[in-house]
Amino acid sequence: MSRPQVWATKVAALIQAGNSSAALAQIKVAPTVKDLQQLRVLLSQAKLLAQHPNIDAATTDMIAAPRLHRSP
Secondary structure of 12-66 as H, E, C letters: HHHHHCCCHHHHHHHHHCCCCHHHHHHHHHHHHHCCCCCCCHHHHHHHHHHHHCC
pLDDT, residue 65, reads 85
pLDDT, residue 47, reads 94
Give the predicted TM-score (pTM) of the model. Answer: 0.85
> Tell me: the pLDDT tens digits for 7-58?
999 999 999 999 999 999 999 988 889 999 999 999 999 999 999 999 999 9
